[in-house]
Amino acid sequence: MRTQQYISTRIRWIWISSLASTLIFFVLAAWVLAHQELRFDIFVTGIVRGTENPMLTDIAKAFTFIGSKGPIILIAVIILWYLYAVKKMRLEVKLFVSVLLGSEVLNLILKLLFQRIRPDVNRLIEITGYSFPSGHSMAAFSLYGILTYLLWKKISARFGKAVLAAAGAFMILCIGLSRVYLGVHYPSDVVGGFAASLAWLLFNIGWYKYRKAKIEKSIQDTI
């Protein structure tokens, strides 16, 4: 009974955190609609673009490529194959698919809703479409966020968990910053993408924990 109450409390806090992330996103979105380009955007863009050099440009393009649809789909397919065919983790497969596909659909809806025009000064690559929130940032946060969560449960050592969290954060941040560096997104696009993906990721993790607890309870009831 205590275990069930503990799980219910954890799920509740996960969903509360998801709601908080959603509110943060819409507060930021309201500022974007009101001001179009924020002081935060000008300040951060100046710092990031001030580091421009050929080597960093190549690195930024590499991270942008890693965060694009092709590599994301390839990595996702490999992970799905492992979860489904090798580990037989059906519920985790549903979680993984829901996070990634839902994030993509959510990004399309939000871009059509806000219709923010991309920066048009000193672009290092050309790209079309709306700017807010960043699709690369949402995809990266969703993929590496859910991957970190699934692997976290399998690692017992604190050092291993720290390395895992650092690696996931590194990929997410580098892909997000690459979009600012290349001049195709405002920093607020990236932050908005992170907030939206975090909200969706936490919502799905809460759902996953709820479903898993129900399955485990039904198994115990039949014993």
**Are the beta carbons of 153 and 91 closer than 8 angstroms?**
no
Domain range list for the chain: 2-222
Which candidate, 142, 100, 135, 140, places its Cα nearest to that of 118?
A: 135
Fill in the DSSP letter of residue 16: H
pLDDT in tens, 32-87: 888 767 788 889 988 988 888 999 999 999 999 999 999 999 999 999 999 999 88
Taking only the tens of pLDDT, the chain with its 223 residues reads 555 565 678 888 999 999 999 999 999 999 988 876 778 888 998 898 888 899 999 999 999 999 999 999 999 999 999 999 988 889 999 999 999 999 999 999 999 999 999 988 778 888 888 999 999 999 999 999 999 999 998 888 999 999 999 999 999 999 999 999 999 999 999 999 999 999 999 999 999 999 888 877 766 666 5
Q: CA-to-CA distance for 130 and 113, rounded, in angstroms?
A: 10
Fill in the DSSP letter of residue 117: P
Residue indicated by tokens 């969706």: 200
